[in-house]
Copies of this chain bind each other. A is one copy, B any other.
Amino acid sequence: MSQNLRIPGPTPIPPQVAEALARPMINHRGPEFAAILRHVTERLQHFFQTEHPVLGFPSAGTGAMEASLVNLFSPGDQVLAVVAGVFGRRLAQIAEAFGLRVERLDVTWGQVADPATLAARLDSLPDVRGVLLTHNETSTGVTQDVRALAKAVRARRPDMLIVVDAVSSLSCVDLRMDAWDLDVVFSGSQKGWMIPPGLALIGVGPRAWAAAETARLPRAYWDFRGARRSLEKWQTPYTPPVGLYQALDVALEMMAAEGREAILARHHALGELTRRRARELGLALFADPAHASDTVTAISVPDGIDGKTLIRALREREEVIIGGGQDRLEGHIVRIGHMGYAHEPEVAAAMDALGRQLAELGHTPPAPVSARGPGPSAAD
């Protein structure tokens, strides 16, 4: 029995991708790799919904955070970070580590930022040069309304640099880099892209390219300009993660065959399924239901049950691997991932297992409607 990996990334690998990962190594300076890089880049632009370059860095998603900051800003620049969870906070912390002046718009974890509040905050901060947003906060299972937030920013400050962490949403949840006029959008290979971790993907728009020319934060590894110069020759500035590119080429082929809209619809259906099954188990969803993520569902652990015990029971007795809460949410929530190579049967199986192990730990789900005794519609 193999594991049912239901953490919010790394995600399961399709068999075709596994096969690609096992292929012989190739020369990263040869024509085969150049062809892969070209093909991958074109397909990435389709999924980023951008005509601008999408750069790949050998890195975790956290590296894409650092890359986005060091290419756009100079020491002492002020940025406004919308912080609604662990990953929004991480982006703000990296900005501070690099000597930016960071203002925070703190949002209650589990909730979304209000565009009007963001606009008002910006009005009070005339020096802000960049706004840092997290599209899908993996730690809380909330998807921010990036379109509305970006619109509110642009209405006041047309030249603002808008940086969007889309690590756990891109390709799964609609995000339109060009149409929404976003300057930097980044993602990570181990989420919606169905390949292992180790490749950060960063879309860079015209305002960001202009900023990269004048930004004075020190940079070398993450330099967008060098990456673009190399990409124009279908190369990379240093050794790329060749195996991940071979895998991504196959994964993107699968994704193109399924279709961008169909992938979004599949993720929405998986989100709905997970939320419905959680409610049927009598569980409270942590995220504001109006903004619950279609890639990861955060579920409050019922009173009297220890979150870590529940996660261990699922792993040891069911081979279902789910995520726990991070930081202040540790022990209080569990997180079910349903992104990338995810389909109804294995998500439903994970929820079945969750129900069984909650029952073992003494949780009583609400009785189904049909068992609540006779009522007005009982005879229907």
- List residues of chain A with CB under 8 Å of any chain B CB: 2-3, 5, 7, 9-13, 18-19, 21-30, 58-63, 65-66, 93-94, 97-99, 188, 190, 196-199, 217-221, 237-244, 315, 321, 323-324
Contacts and interface: CB of A to CB of B under 8 A. Distances in A.
Contacts of A2: 24
Closest 10 CB pairs of A and B: A198-B241, A196-B243, A62-B238, A22-B22, A18-B22, A94-B220, A21-B21, A97-B220, A98-B218, A198-B198
Nearest to A311: B30
A197 B242 CA distance: 6
Given A198-B58, A241-B197, A221 B63 contact: yes
Given A190-B239, A243-B21, A62 B221 contact: yes
Q: Interface majority SS on A: helix, strand, loop or mixed?
A: loop
B239 A60 contact: yes
Contacts of A9: 239
A109 to B, nearest CB: 19
26 contacts: A9-B239, A10-B25, A10-B26, A10-B242, A12-B24, A13-B24, A21-B22, A21-B243, A22-B22, A26-B321, A29-B323, A58-B63, A59-B221, A60-B239, A61-B238, A62-B220, A65-B220, A94-B221, A97-B219, A98-B218, A99-B218, A197-B239, A197-B240, A197-B243, A198-B244, A218-B218
Nearest to A95: B220
Contacts of A19: 22
A24 B17 CA distance: 11
B97 A30 contact: no
A190 B239 CA distance: 9
Counted per complex, copies of this chain come to 2
Contacts of A12: 24-25
A5 B242 CA distance: 14
Contacts of A59: 58-59, 63, 221
Given A5-B27, A27-B5, A221-B63, A198 B98 contact: no
Contacts of A188: 239
A195 B60 CA distance: 18
Contacts of A97: 218-220
Contacts of A94: 220-221
B10 A239 contact: yes
Nearest to A324: B29
Contacts of A218: 97-99, 217-218
A5 B220 CA distance: 29
Contacts of A221: 59-60, 62-63, 65-66, 94
Contacts of A99: 218
A21 B18 CA distance: 7
A2 B23 CA distance: 11
B61 A239 contact: yes
Contacts of A93: 220
A196 B195 CA distance: 14
Contacts of A199: 198
Nearest to A167: B239
A193 to B, nearest CB: 12
Given A66-B220, A197-B243, 12 more contacts: A3-B24, A5-B26, A5-B27, A12-B25, A27-B323, A58-B59, A58-B63, A59-B59, A59-B63, A60-B240, A94-B221, A197-B242
